[in-house]
Chains A and B, each alone.
Chain A
Amino acid sequence: MATPRGPRPGAFPPNHNPNALANNLQNLQINQSNRQELSSAGSDGSPWTSNTSPFGQQPPPFAAGQPLPPPPGGFQTGPTPPAAPGQSTLPPDAMPTRPAGLTPQPLPFASRPPPPGVLPMGSAPPVAPGQSTLRPDVMPARPTDATLASQHLPFASRPPPPGVFPSSVGGPAAPPYSGTAPRPGPLGLPTPPQMSSNGPAGNGPPAFAPGMMQSGSRPPPPMSNLPRPSVGQVQPPTMLSSQAPSQPLQTRPGFGGPPTFVSSSVGQPGPPFSTFPRGPMLPGSSNMPPPPGSLTFSPPVQGTVQSPGHRHGMESWPQQPPQVGLSHPTPGAMQQQHQMFGMPPGPPPFPNQSMALGQTDLSQVDINHIPPYSSSSAVILHETRMDNHANPPPPATSTYIVKDNGNCSPRYMRCTLNQVPCTVDLLSTSAMQLTLLVQPLALPHPSEEPIHVVDFGESGPVRCSRCKGYINPFMKFIDQGKRFICNLCGFTDETPHEYQCNLGPDGRRRDADERPELCQGTVEFIAPKEYMVRDPMPAVFFFLVDVSMHAIQTGATAAACSAISQVIPHLPEGPRTMVAIATFDSTVHFYKLKCAQQQPSILVVPDVQDVYTPLTSDIVVQLAECRQHLEMLLDSIPGMFQNHRTTDSAFGAAAKAAFLAIKSTGGKLLVFQSILPSIGIGSLSAREAEGRSNISTGEKEPHKLLQPVDKTLQTMATEFAEYQVCVDLFITTQTYVDVASLSVVPRTTGGQVYYYHPFSALSDLAKLSNDLRWNVTRPQGFEAVMRVRCSEGIQVQEYSGNFYKRNRADADFPAIDCDKAIMVSLKHTDKLQQESGCSFQCALLYTTIYGQRRIRVSTLYLLCTNNLTSLFVAPDLDTLFSCILKQAANEMTSAPLSRVKDKATNVCINILHSYSKFCVTKSSSALLMMPEALKFLPLYTLALLKSHGLSSDGRIDERSFWLNYVSPLPTPSVIPLIYPRMIAIHDLDEKESEDSIIPAIIPLSNMHISDEGIYLLENGIDCLVYVGASVQQNVLTQLFGISSVEEISNQFTLQQYDNLLSKKLNDILNEIRRERCSYLRLKFCKKGDSSGMMFLSNMVEDRMPSGAAYSDFVAHIHSQVQKKKA
């Protein structure tokens, strides 16, 4: 509150809702994070220099070892200025996409303590002052493909073609690091070790990355990306160094180590790796997975295991390397060893990276020898294809920039296996699954090239006449281009006359490089008339607000209205945007917004058993025509029902009535619901209570409570979906509302559930507002239908996610947005030919928010393999685990919890069993062998078992929500949900040297939590702030403006105070919000009370009532694997 807050008149009481939101918004100020950089950058102001400043703190190595200057110079002059125009061409319609990015509007900057010269620049990131003019354009941040009419080609404005990268990058970047690497001291000390090794190396770039995120379109010049990839490369040297053993622990296998191993010591495992020679040079190549070689952790020396040092995370971590180091020879040696024992056979000799978790005592495994969780904040440059082969994607959670050169970006489509098993037997032997996770409208990185829009005119895109597959880079043209062979079904088609083109000597069409559909994995076609059953629908937003007594009294109505009125200005402009508002209690109230009238009028539909729409016109009106009325209305709704005494809520009836009003067009229905619907169609009963009593009387099957109570809402939802109405449900409640039943509607209609429980008007308003804003402004499409086609031999078995199953082959989405992923499970129908590879094509036909009908086609071409070992090189853990999670969630409603848990555990056991049985020829029974790619599988599995959704004592509604949340969840969000990110925030100001906004991640274990510390933990939904018992008072004051823990209420909002610590915390929070595209529900946890318990329940590595400690779990897995093998 003490912060000078912008131009807002301070008339409102501080806790008044609107203002509370405003406060939060200001606190949210994303761009502030840059301020720090700015100020440190000083007058120089160039991005590069700002980034170098952190480096400056380790000047000796840099200055000495490496002539850094050249790259910076290049940047300053080069890329940034051109980027500016490029950005400004961004149509304003490329609405701000990230929620956090949106919030800043209310002049955040005023609150900043002024580096005077900087102030005027406002939020302009570390970009030069002159560029501050860019900001308006910049704010829109990530250009969405859906909305981007004019393709802006960030790359186009930048000189360096991909090929250039390596030379420019590899050169400068690698050497310095190799220099730094050997110096463990400076790197390792200040921060926990796993980050520390990354730290200095990664610090430069990561710091930069956030900058990019914030400024949105500030195109990180290609060069600026380079340093980041180079980070990956930095590690090879370290790996090579004697320190190496620690590296696997600390870094994701994807980066760092492996490539060097490969290049240095190992042959390429088959075709994919044939590209390797370029690997080390190309940043992208650093992601190449296949460092053959398994890391074996031999049984630790007993005694050291539980060494007292462990109590203090800080200290214990540094000890790791030695420990590991002790138990191992250098990795290189290990690798050699494995090469000999593990995988002697031929050409693809060591595709398997494996780790072995050893244990001497089955019941006790040293936690330090188990792969602890780690992640990298480095930005990776990823090319989807390398040398004619699919390039395995970087980890889903990492920050990466994709260069689409044939295969689609992994954002759009990821496969659990990066090589497709030729036979179903091979697949079942591996115990893994072949499943695609498709996220057709995923948000691209701002630096990525937007998707090309191709217009074939009236004839529409060229398609295979048999399987209807769309033209893609893998269609093979023959016969001088007169015919082409479909890569999906193998059928040979005549090329349409106007599309013919001669073939070059390499067999490619001569125009292949000019035609996006022939050289890019993802393109968008303009759909001609025949793809429409009607004119593309307008963008209809129907807001439906609960005004029952409970909603009014808890402030939910006011919050909803406030959120809606804040989102109105962000709705797309133009005549195609239609808006409607209705409220409901025991009746449904529509509002006539006709502009001719003096004021809106209310139309009540009282028959909630059999609803109808009270008017055919004037309820859904063009936004442009009714803005004033809308504002007036939203202002008055909370007051209007202030004295209402209606406790009932007719959710079903209201939704149905609203549906009827927009039935003719379809559209989005955003429902704000506060209590259990108790009246009218689809009314529900408090079966949670019944459930409890049933349990007490011995009746079981509590999972039934996770199912919808009956078919009514399902039937309704189906009808909605048929008419392209998508329902998003914002549940702002303090009681049981039967999420399980309600969620059927959003789930079937392609919407989603937002759950605010227990709702607090004070602390949840900001989140509600941001969620709503993101909901309507994120890239999205309407009346969409999606189909995935696969090569002969593979078929789609099932789609799973939030959509409507009109028929088996397609998934129908009344609305789909960038946050929705669909799990596509595949099945073999035939044996695949190893040489022919396997294609997957996802086609999404949808209407953009501006009323254009488009088809987004993503094609992924993967190699096939007959080799189990290569399968284990290839799994994409994040995707694989996402599928395991989603399947578990799907089963939850139909099977007892214990069975679901067993099943998840067994998946883990079976995979590891398969690996250790078939891929590791010799290993000690004391060693748990696992492929490098899957090294976190046990950890994730454990975390899954302990997750809220799978906990038997959780509230039914919360679990239902969890299940729903998981259903459309894209891969990058799955991991943090299961294994939340924890950071320390009490010592932020001590880490001056850090230039990554988000500090080092702390493993989720009690042993890393100190009583003096304050920690922040986030999982994409909630953000818990945990305060230890003996935190220094001045830290509390600085962060929260309080002097003791007791002063913090449950309804707590984070404010920004005028001190470094607070600013950093806000910066961090904003950064996280940006990353997650979610404004996170802040919860305050105190040691010793229930909130503290809640926080601690996230420490998944610890032993807790819901499951074993990590080490014990690994031990369990190990013993099961051993048992199986025996």
Chain B
Amino acid sequence: MAAPELAQTDPEGIEGVRMTWMNWPRSKVEASKCVIPIATSIQPIRPHVDLQILPYAPLRCKTCSVVLNPFCRVDFTALIWICPFCLQRNHFPPHYNSISQTNLPAELYPNFPSVEYSIPNYQNSQNFNQSSPIYLFILDTCMIEEELEFAKSSLKRAIGMLPENAMVGFISYGTQVQVHELGFSEMSKVYVFRGTKEISKDQVLEQLGLSVSGSRRPGPGMHKSGGGGPSPVAGAGPHTAINRFLLPASECEYTLNSLLDELSTDQWPIAPGNRALRCTGVALSVGTGLLSASTAGTGARMIALVGGPCTEGPGSIVSKDLSDPVRSHKDLDKDAAPFFKKAVHFYDEIGKQLVNQGHVLDVFASALDQVGIAEMKVAIEKTGGLVVLSESFGHSVFKDSFKRIFEVGGEQSLGLAFNGTLEINCSKDIKVQGIVGPCTSLEKKGPSVASTVIGQGNTTAWKMCGLDKSTCLTVFFDVSSSEKSDPAGPTSQLYIQYLTSYQSSDGQMRLRVTTVTRRWAAGSEDLVQGFDQEVAAVVMARLASYKMEMEEGFDATRWLDRNLIRLCSKFGEYRKDDPASFTLNSFFSLFPQFMFNLRRSQFVQVFNNSPDETAYFRILLNRETISNAVVMIQPSLISYGFDSLPGPALLDVQSIAAERILLLDSYFSVVIFHGMTIAQWRNMGYQNQPENQGFAMLLQAPQEDSQLIIRDRFPVPRLVVCDQHGSQARFLLAKLNPSATYSNAQDMMHPGSDVIFTDDVSLQVFLEHLQRLAVQAS
């Protein structure tokens, strides 16, 4: 089985849109028969070589505010365009007078379904600094010296990489929160907030002396001395006041570096047998409050480096006593995690606050234990923040990922953008149920809002405080059941327009307009032809994860099985009750295997992971591109051997051979697995002998390939290099189809092969069952 995504290049195209069904079922009933929901994935700001940047403002339909697009019918003589969504006739404004059949503006070119408008930024013209992005670093100091040093050096490097005009702030915290006033020149000055007390945005502002109203009333004792003097804060707006804490990187780099040099680990005493007192929750709310003083509309990232669980104050996830372990999935299931709900609620509030401000929360957690990503997930996802989970600040997973976010321009750049909003316009038969992915509903009601909600729903507009070029959202659609008339005719096309406005990393305001059109499916064949199994697999994975979080007692495995069986029943070709006759159209052929792997993946089998890891995986599943998400669901395996070119191998234990090297990419980790013999040779140093250059090259090849994978991926995956029968080999074995287990080892054994000690069913068994069930009369 070839890895299909490698064959297809650029399935998203310039649109950046993929759909589970290319041709849409016409009615609600039909849609539900399709089993796989109608969903599109969109990468709102996916870069593309052909993307046109238009330096003028878009034209909008005066009734539905759809932006002029290639699917509009244009009357060049009357200078009128007809909106394909609402059929409204709009006049072109005078500056379009010169358009003609041969002189089309870019937005009307049929091969440019996506164009980007660069909107003049008024703020920019006034004061460039105001809209230059803010980076507020929040550093946990409750760690061992060594870890802190790692974190500090990463921070320093990051600060050095920031653009000169980027505004930088710094908060360190441990048992208490320390807001560093970088603009204070005499000596280092910090505001200290207690970690135990929940603090509102207004309190933060007032206590930092940033409150807009100048609410520090003149003291009653001052009437005499004050005279008619100006009010102390008057005139000093929040913009200038905030400059005490946020300074252009170029101005504060030295201060920050020396500050970091002197920064030591948290000095609060830790009682024996207790965890460090760490007030991540308050630190985040103080940071949020601080950012709220910045000019509205300025993009900001709050970048938290967390070294352990929050144990102090609001947002705590575990008690101080080390004998209480951090909650596990089991605890969550049994409702035995006393801190969980409160903490989730707390971080949710922070998330909401940040969304209001349009700011992003990024969390870099490096600890051996959990730090509370599960609780913070809401805030991170809603703001479109980044999250990286690693074991240590010294680990490359953290170090390299952290570096990546500050790289500007070039291949490596994540293309971080701020303050995005996504609006969806669609033809009138189409309803939007919601979005699963890093965004927040703006609760913009409209005729296109479906009654059922999935993810961030009840709206046709969403906020994405942070987004980058790989950000991918899944939009769930519904079709209205009523419209069934007129199967042919002008309404055989459906239209969806995505409008994404955002502030690019260099501070420009952009609006990307992507207009897609699809056909209503004429029949079952149309449906089958239009099925995108990769998207379908990812959508199912996202939906299952979503349901596992949202629905109590949701049995994901059964749900997936049932849907798979239904799908096969509907689209498979078979004779009733004859499993052997079952065949599946090639458009569906991979889907069962995707489902098989999804069932075994970390998204469904959560009990192998901590809640933090699960949350982490899900955040990434929801925000990554389809192709990356597919890798998460079904890792790719490449085999390297003397006898063959490197090539994809079956994700099966049978692919293991003594004289092969395997390269597994499961997205979060990349495993290089040396067969037994290879390992022995390598250990004996054959690769260093000139006559064995071939071997050296064989060893080298997977290394190079892995670097290619690692280089482009964010977060940087963990690289595991292991040998057959070594302890680290489990990273590979866990992902392989257990076609050879201890129970059937005797039959399958061949030299150099391996077995997996598991009771899990193998793919073959799974498919057999599937066929049997699919052909059963329902």
Contact = CB atoms under 8 A, between A and B. Distances in A.
Report whether chain A binds chain B: yes
Interface of A: 549-550, 586-587, 589-590, 597-607, 610, 612, 614-618, 636, 639-640, 645-649, 675-679, 684-686, 734-737
B189 A645 contact: no
A735 to B, nearest CB: 5
Contact of B219 (A605, A639, A647): A647
Contacts of B232: 549, 645-647
A735 B225 contact: yes
B220 A676 contact: yes
A617 B176 CA distance: 13
Nearest to B219: A678
A586 B216 contact: yes
Nearest to B262: A597
Given A607-B207, A614-B176, A616-B268, A636 B218 contact: no
Contact of A602 (B189, B194, B197, B262): B189
Contacts of B209: 586-587, 606, 646
B754 to A, nearest CB: 55
A676 B192 contact: no
Contacts of A604: 181, 189-192
Contact of B193 (A586, A607, A640, A675): A607
A604 B188 CA distance: 11
A675 B189 contact: no
A617 B267 contact: yes
28 contacts: A586-B216, A587-B209, A598-B258, A598-B262, A599-B187, A599-B188, A603-B178, A603-B192, A604-B181, A604-B189, A604-B190, A606-B192, A606-B209, A607-B207, A614-B176, A614-B178, A614-B190, A615-B192, A616-B268, A640-B187, A646-B209, A647-B226, A648-B222, A676-B219, A678-B220, A678-B221, A678-B222, A685-B221
Contacts of A735: 221, 224-225
Nearest to B189: A602
Which of A589, A603, A736 has the largest number of chain B CB atoms within 10 A? Answer: A603
Contacts of A647: 218-219, 222, 225-226, 232
Contacts of A645: 232-233
The 10 closest A-B pairs by CB, nearest first: A678-B219, A676-B221, A606-B207, A614-B192, A645-B232, A601-B188, A602-B189, A604-B191, A612-B194, A648-B219
Contacts of A587: 191, 207, 209
Contacts of B191: 587, 603-606
A685 B216 CA distance: 15
Interface string B304-347: 00000000000000000000000000000000000000000000
B197 A734 contact: no
B203 interface: yes
Contacts of B178: 603, 614
B222 A606 contact: no
Given A602-B190, A606-B193, A736 B221 contact: yes
Nearest to A639: B186
B269 interface: yes
Contacts of A684: 220-221
Contacts of A598: 258, 262
B: contact size bracket: 35 or more
Nearest to A677: B221
A639 B262 CA distance: 24
B192 to A, nearest CB: 4
B521 interface: no
Given A587-B207, A598-B258, 6 more contacts: A602-B190, A612-B192, A616-B267, A639-B186, A678-B222, A684-B221
A537 B338 CA distance: 42
B223 A686 contact: yes
A649 B189 CA distance: 19
A603 to B, nearest CB: 5
Contacts of A646: 209, 216, 232
B224 A607 contact: no
Nearest to B184: A602
B208 interface: yes
Contact of A675 (B186, B197, B221, B267): B221
Interface in B532-585: none
A842 to B, nearest CB: 40
A32 to B, nearest CB: 40
A594 to B, nearest CB: 9
Nearest to B232: A645
Which of B184, B190, B199, B268 has the largest number of chain A CB atoms within 10 A? Answer: B190
Contacts of A678: 219-222
A639 B190 CA distance: 18
A603 B225 contact: no
Nearest to A597: B262
A590 B191 CA distance: 10
B190 A686 contact: no
Nearest to B174: A615
A601 B216 contact: no
Interface in B211-255: 216, 218-226, 232-233
B192 A550 contact: no
A675 B224 CA distance: 11
Nearest to B234: A645
B187 A649 contact: no
Nearest to A618: B267
A464 to B, nearest CB: 44
B357 to A, nearest CB: 21
B207 A679 contact: no
Contacts of B189: 589, 601-604
A648 B233 CA distance: 12
A375 to B, nearest CB: 41
B190 A601 contact: yes
A120 B56 CA distance: 91
Contact of B190 (A549, A550, A603, A685): A603
A550 B219 CA distance: 11
A983 to B, nearest CB: 37
Given A601-B190, A647-B218, A675 B225 contact: yes
Contacts of A586: 209, 216
B207 A685 contact: no
Contacts of B194: 607, 610, 612
Contacts of A679: 216, 219
A686 B267 CA distance: 41
B194 to A, nearest CB: 5
B327 to A, nearest CB: 29
B395 to A, nearest CB: 29
B277 to A, nearest CB: 11
A686 B221 contact: yes
Contact of A616 (B188, B203, B223, B269): B269
A597 B190 CA distance: 15
Contact of A685 (B220, B258, B268): B220
Nearest to B190: A603
Contacts of A676: 219-222
A598 B267 CA distance: 18
B304 to A, nearest CB: 21
Nearest to B226: A647
Contact of B187 (A602, A648, A685, A737): A602
A610 B203 CA distance: 12
A1046 B269 CA distance: 63
B83 to A, nearest CB: 54
Contacts of B187: 599-602, 636, 640
Contacts of B225: 550, 647, 675, 734-735
Contacts of B197: 607, 610
Nearest to B176: A614
Contacts of B223: 686
A737 B221 CA distance: 7
Nearest to A605: B192
Contacts of B221: 649, 675-678, 684-686, 735-737
Interface string B260-275: 0010000111000000
Contact of A640 (B186, B199, B219): B186
B208 A675 contact: no
B567 to A, nearest CB: 59
